[in-house]
């Protein structure tokens, strides 16, 4: 966490942050904000399948206490108008979602919302964009490929971990990667560096029959599942007996895949629009980098610093209903 703060030059002095108190790797978010000098951090929590509010409180405050910032973090189960009225940065975190118009309308006009992933990954269901536009409150994405963040470089190892979990060594495996977005280079590099033979495709129709050990699906989520009946039929014709469809990102109709004789990993479906494996599955490092970068991007905009293509911050400028977020099911996240 200290290395991430040094790398990003995150400075939240004189700013108040509203984020989540969470469990696992996501307990770092509130603590990073406090370590970066935030005037105060309000960390909202609620029950999830990952833990109780008590779990989130304990993990967040124990981590905060270990670095001497617990006195600047309040863990909350209710957000009052008074808190919203003094907030400078709100994070688009799992416990806070969706960020409603009622919440946004109570923020100061100078406030910003930290998307906590890249702008092109914006998902309209996360927050009321029309309320942000009406209030002039920026929605700030983070450049995950900035050298101080570099989360994309973790996607290849994450995909390798997912394949290991489903019983494939990756080394010497024949892997098809079905990807229509910027993940493709990182996925290909990670799999190739682990010894796989890899072919990439930007559409289901482009996939051809081969002795695939697995076909990785990494398609941007849309209003309908990216793998429906026609797509499942095509993939079944391309995959050998025993081939596996691995859901890295992008919603799939698992019923039609099973009806076509295809196995699917992971066995439990992720939430709609979310990844099939959490970044935290390969350790806290990518989460720490992402959260520090997301806060840094929001800080830049809050302090009216220039937004450039090689900087930290990206601005969501219009509601693109077809976009959905990169990261994980609510871990919480």
Tens-digit pLDDT profile for residues 6-44: 999 999 999 999 999 999 999 999 999 999 999 999 999
Nearest to 41 by CA among 3, 104, 94, 91: 91
In a domain? residue 230: yes
In a domain? residue 157: no
In a domain? residue 272: no
Inter-CA distances, 174 with 117, 155, 157, Å:
31, 19, 17
In a domain? residue 24: yes
Nearest to 256 by CA among 268, 248, 264: 264
**What pLDDT, on the 0 to 100 scale, is given for residue 325?**
37
Residues 18 and 111 in one domain: yes
| CATH code for position 97 | 3.40.50.720
**What pLDDT, on the 0 to 100 scale, is given for residue 50?**
84
Q: How far apart are CA 34 and CA 64, in angstroms?
A: 8
Residues 228 and 198 in one domain: yes
Between residues 217 and 331, the one the model is more confident about: 217
Q: Three-state DSSP class for 147?
A: coil
Residue 181, C-beta contacts closer than 8 angstroms, at least 6 positions apart: 218, 219, 220
Residues 172 and 143 in one domain: no
- DSSP bridge partners of 89: 17, 112
**What pLDDT, on the 0 to 100 scale, is given for residue 318?**
64
Q: How far apart are CA 257 and CA 231, in angstroms?
A: 9
**What pLDDT, on the 0 to 100 scale, is given for residue 328?**
34
Confidence band, pLDDT 50/70/90 cuts, at residue 241: confident
Residues 186 and 294 in one domain: no
Q: Three-state DSSP class for 305?
A: coil
Residues 198 and 295 in one domain: no
Q: Three-state DSSP class for 156?
A: helix
- C-alpha neighbours within 13 Å on the C-beta side of residue 249: 28
Inter-CA distances, 25 with 164, 254, 283, Å:
21, 29, 8
Residues 239 and 309 in one domain: no
pLDDT, tens digit, 9 for 90 and up, residues 162-215: 999 999 999 999 999 999 999 999 999 999 999 999 999 999 999 999 999 999
Domain that holds residue 23: 2-149+283-315
Between residues 327 and 210, the one the model is more confident about: 210
Nearest to 76 by CA among 28, 26, 17: 17
pLDDT at 319 over 60: no
The residue-averaged pLDDT of 99-113 equals 98
- The number of distinct structural domains making up the chain is 2
Residues 194 and 255 in one domain: yes
Residues 142 and 19 in one domain: yes
pLDDT at 330 over 50: no
In a domain? residue 45: yes
What does pTM read for this prediction? 0.90
Between residues 180 and 120, the one the model is more confident about: 180
Residues 126 and 220 in one domain: no
CB 261 within 8 A of CB 178: no
């Amino acid at each position: 966490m200290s290395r991430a703060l040094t790398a990003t030059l995150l400075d939240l002095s004189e700013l108040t942050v509203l984020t989540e108190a969470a469990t696992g790797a996501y307990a770092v978010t509130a603590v990073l904000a406090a370590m970066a000098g935030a005037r105060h951090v309000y960390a909202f929590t609620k029950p999830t399948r990952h833990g109780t509010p008590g779990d989130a409180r304990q993990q967040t405050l124990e981590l905060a206490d270990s670095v001497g910032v617990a006195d600047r973090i309040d863990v909350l189960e209710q957000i009052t108008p008074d808190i919203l009225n003094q907030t400078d940065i709100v994070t688009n975190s799992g416990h806070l979602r969706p960020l409603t118009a009622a919440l946004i309308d109570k923020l100061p006009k100078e406030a910003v919302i930290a998307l906590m992933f890249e702008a092109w990954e914006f998902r309209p269901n996360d927050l009321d964009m029309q309320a942000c536009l009406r209030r002039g409150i920026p929605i700030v994405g983070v450049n995950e490929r900035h050298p101080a963040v570099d989360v994309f470089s973790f996607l290849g190892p994450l995909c390798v971990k997912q394949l290991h979990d489903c019983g494939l060594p990756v080394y010497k495996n024949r892997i098809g990667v079905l990807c229509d977005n910027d993940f493709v280079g990182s996925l290909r590099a990670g799999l190739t560096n682990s010894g796989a033979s890899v072919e990439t495709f930007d559409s289901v129709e482009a996939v051809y029959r081969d002795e695939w050990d697995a076909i990785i699906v990494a398609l941007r989520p849309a209003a309908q599942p990216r793998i429906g009946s026609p797509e499942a039929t095509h993939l079944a014709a391309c995959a050998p007996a025993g081939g596996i469809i691995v859901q890295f990102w992008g919603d799939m109709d698992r019923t039609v895949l099973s009806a076509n004789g295809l196995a699917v990993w992971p066995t439990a479906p992720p939430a709609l629009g979310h990844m099939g494996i959490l970044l935290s599955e390969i350790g806290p490092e990518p989460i720490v980098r992402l959260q520090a970068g997301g806060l840094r991007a929001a800080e830049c905009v809050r302090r009216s610093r220039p937004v450039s293509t090689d900087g930290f911050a990206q601005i969501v400028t219009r509601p693109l209903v077809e976009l959905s977020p990169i990261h994980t099911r609510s871990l919480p996240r």
